Structure 1
Amino acid sequence: MRLQPVPADELEASWWRRNEPRFRLTDEARLSALRRSVFTDAVDLVKPGRPIKVTTYVFAAGGVDVDAMHTLLGQHARDRGWAVDRERFTDKPVRGPLPIRPQFHSACRRASCGYVDGVLTTGRNAMPSNVEAYEAYLRWLHRHGAFVAFPKPNIGGPEWTGQ
């Protein structure tokens, strides 16, 4: 796990007097653990015998072959025994101060409404970069029994495996 020191001004008085460093998870490590927990809880809600149904989402930054990425994500889902929804979502970067991802929001809405169990996407870089926004999406999906999952490349093994 990735840890970061807790600033002295955030320590309780009794801890600070001991003059020992205190550590906590980084935001990314905390959100990664939350995403895995949301995934596990949502999968546990799926009735036995029913395949998990996902939609795919791609954030098409800088030269990404959108169709190929959706195909890889779909193949990863099918390799796990999941069903892939026919609707897929793609955002392209927009110039400006905030990266806007309306299609990611639509994919999450589809999951939160129960049409699919989760959103399968390429990785953390496809999620909102703002920590608070990403956490809000994870908690929103958790309240609706849905998840966001990332495939992991496995060097030397099948092309895409893991959660």
Structure 2
Amino acid sequence: MTRNHKKPLLYRKANTTAHIVNFHHKDFNDERHTKIREKRLAFDHAREHMNSSNSGIGRDYTPLFKFLLAKVGEPWAAVYAEAVSRLDKPEPVFWMVQLRQRELSSVVRMGENSYYSGLYVDDAGLLQVVDPSASEATQVPSCSCCTHTFNGKPFARAATSSLETKA
């Protein structure tokens, strides 16, 4: 008996850390009239087939970003091939990896408070970090009420308020 040693996907299907997440899942158990319920279910079913592009709902690509950071210095062709084979679509790779010189950014924002090192492919075809000196110690959060992360690590510096900068 052989086992399939398939590598894990580079995304999660739902955000498991969020509170009260509802991805258009409707529960009509508290409805009084079954005819109304049947009409709504039929409408939802028809709408779902008309626009079935909900593939991005509830996707967390944090594993992909960590995978790309771990592959810095390796040949881009091999990294890209492995990443795409473990993803639902190839676009998220290019949220972090910039292929054009004019688009290079040392820090890339993913979501509200998550930041990652910008990556690019050098002339030798290797995956590289745009600014190796960027770290969680060099980043300054925009507010003090949220936890900001850089490459998965919380920012080391505290947010500066507008009152402190005027003094």
- The normalised TM-score by structure 2 is 0.27
- RCO comparison, higher one (Cα < 8 Å, 6+): 1
Q: Which structure dedicates a bigger proportion of its chain to strand?
A: 1
Normalising by structure 1, we get a TM-score of 0.27
